[in-house]
Amino acid sequence: MKYLILTLMGLVMFTPPVSARPVSYPEGWTVMLNNDGDKNTAHVHYSPTAKTSIGYKVENWRDKEMVLNVVQMNNLLKRWNKKDSQANAYLKSGVGVAYSDAGDFDGKIEPAVFTGLALDWEDRRFFTSYENRYTEAGEIDDFYTQSARVGVAPYIGEYGDLHTWLMLQVEHTPEAKDNFTVTPLVRLFKDVHLLEAGMNTRGEVLFNYVFRY
């Protein structure tokens, strides 16, 4: 396992990073539902331009017993369009409130903010990404997370086909007991629907769904 993690970290460090597309096309709406071993999230955003999206996000951190309700803004800092590939750098930030059910903080509501950088690179065969985030929720909690993905498409489909990606995700949360989590997953993508499913090394299910229109 140690060698697997080191290899993945190496891949992330020495290859250009992947695509979560936190900004849609101009006047596009996106609905994102993410579920993994730590949290369940729902995020709806609107992109007035190809460089910005603004939306509302709810995150339920199960073990932390904390729910974040935030207005989130994503900004495309830079895009590199090449003939056969695309790379992006995004700034993702949110501001809102955190509600806790945990121990001494039971019933407590605190202002909450987060910010992070997301980088991606992809062509039609390969995909890599990296993103980090620092979250501050007043007296309730503050934490840093980072994650990276590598992916490969077993076949290359045309526009309108069902696209399949096999991916490996590594998450790192320094404060956590098991601070590295590895999740193999499959991404299926057709028309306006994107679905991801996998299971991490702790046996927890990942299930994500994105709808864009």
Partner 1 sequence: MKKLTLLLTALILVGVTPAYAGHHEGETHETKTEAAVQSGDVHVSVNGLVCDFCARALEKTFGKQESVEGIDVNLESKVVTINFNDGQTLDDETITKLITDAGYNVEGIHRVK
Closest to 97 (Cα-Cα) out of 128, 64, 57, 132: 57
Stretch that binds partner 1, among 1-9, 60-68, 111-119, 186-194 (CB under 8 A): 186-194
Which residues 6+ apart lie within 8 Å of 203 measured at CB? Answer: none
Contacts of 14 (CB under 8 A, 6+ apart): none
Residue type, 66: M
Residue 191 interacting with partner 1 (CB under 8 A):
yes
- Beta strand pairing status for 205-212 and 193-199? antiparallel
3 binds partner 1 (CB under 8 A): no
Contact status: 78 vs partner 1 (CB under 8 A): no
Task: Tell me the window of 89-97, 106-114, 116-124, 133-141 that interacts with partner 1 (CB under 8 A).
Answer: 116-124
- Residues 49-68 interacting with partner 1 (rule: CB under 8 A): 49-51
Sketch the per residue contact string, 83 through 112, with partner 1: x for CB under 8 A, - otherwise. Answer: xxxx--------------------------
- 152 to 181: interface string for partner 1, x by CB under 8 A: --xxxxxxxxxxx-x---------------
Residue 195 near residue 173 (C-beta atoms within 8 A):
no
CB of 75 to partner 1, least distance (A): 13
Determine which residue in the list 6, 27, 101, 139 makes contact with partner 1, applying CB under 8 A: 27
Stretch in the footprint of partner 1 (CB under 8 A) among 23-31, 57-65, 107-115, 168-176: 23-31
β partners of residue 196: 187, 208
In 3D, which of 144, 142, 134 has the Cα closest to residue 114?
Answer: 134
Verify binding: residue 184, partner 1, rule CB under 8 A.
yes
Residue type, 212: R
CB burial of 4-19 (b: ≥16 within 10 Å; e: otherwise) equals eeeebeeebeeebbbb
> Taking a C-beta distance cutoff of 8 angstroms, is the pair 196, 185 a contact?
yes
Binding mask 123-142 for partner 1 (x = CB under 8 A): xx------------------
- Per the CB < 8 A criterion, the answer to whether 134 and 160 are in contact is no
CB of 43 to partner 1, least distance (A): 16
CB contact set of 211 (below 8 Å; sequence gap of 6+) = 30, 31, 192, 193, 194
Q: Name the residues that contact partner 1, by CB under 8 A.
A: 19, 21, 24-28, 49-51, 76, 79, 81-86, 122-124, 154-164, 166, 184, 186, 188-192, 197-199, 203, 212
